[in-house]
Amino acid sequence: MKQRRDVLAPILFILFSIVCGFATKDFVIGIPTLLTGLLCAWYTTQGKSFNYIMGFINYLLMAYTSYANHLYGLFLFNTFVFAPFQLIGYFSWRKSSDANNTVISRKFTLKSSIIIIISCIVSSLLLGFALSQIPGQRLSILDATSNCLNLCGIVLMCMRFKEGLWLWLMNNIADFLIWLFTFLAKGPNSTMMLLVSTGYLLLNIYSIYNWYHFKKYLVFSKYFYLLSPASSESANFKRL
């Protein structure tokens, strides 16, 4: 059953991405962007280091789309921060592939929660102001907020804090709004990016529901956490 699912899921993702590509007439950038995003999420739930390869390609494709839509904050962070993090994650997973790969989640204290909230707000405002000084930059505050939340979420993921779930939710909401406004402005490749951000947001909500409903297994992803008891068959991440 598991082997059949491992083969069937990527095939369905490929077919879905092709259908969306033809529907939106976005073949060159749209199809690989959606496909690599879906495959990255899938292989992460399976505990496969290959997810970082898909994530690396996905970030570079999103960097291109962000630049084309004058979202320079997303372009810079995707290219020089988030994409390199995928390479670090890949080699880190490969290095420990023969070990137990058990990750014990941690929980915020009230003090650490306040520090994170204030840090995200201040950094978003500062980065938003800096981006607003770039000629042609669009949606400066949303752009800055998305990048700051995403970066903070990556750091928390490395530190094993489960509150990263909520940071990724806020990040995915910001991403959704960015691409919704860009879609309404008829930006290039924005239709496919709106589909991608919608998928990430829905899966993020689903993962939070599963975390607090089952409270058994935790699996980390590039833009969000996807949680499922079934994924525990192959993923070696456990919650304490």
In a domain, 101, yes or no: no
In a domain, 103, yes or no: no
pLDDT digits (tens, 9 = 90+) for 28-40: 888 999 899 888 8
pTM assigned to the model = 0.72
**Per mean pLDDT, which of 39-48, 106-115, 123-132 is the most reliable?**
123-132
pLDDT digits (tens, 9 = 90+) for 190-210: 888 888 888 778 767 766 776
In a domain, 239, yes or no: no
3-state secondary structure of 139: coil
In a domain, 238, yes or no: no
* Confidence at residue 114, expressed as pLDDT on a 0 to 100 scale: 85
Q: Packing angle between helix 110-132 and helix 140-158, nearest 10 degrees?
A: 140
In a domain, 196, yes or no: yes
Q: Give the count of domains, the chain.
A: 1
* Confidence at residue 213, expressed as pLDDT on a 0 to 100 scale: 61
Handedness of CA 155, 128, 82, 44 (dihedral sign): positive
In a domain, 164, yes or no: yes
In a domain, 72, yes or no: yes
Quote the domain boundaries for residue 200: 2-95+108-233
User: For residues 90-102, b (16+ Cβ closer than 10 Å) or e, as one string?
Assistant: beebeeeeeeeee
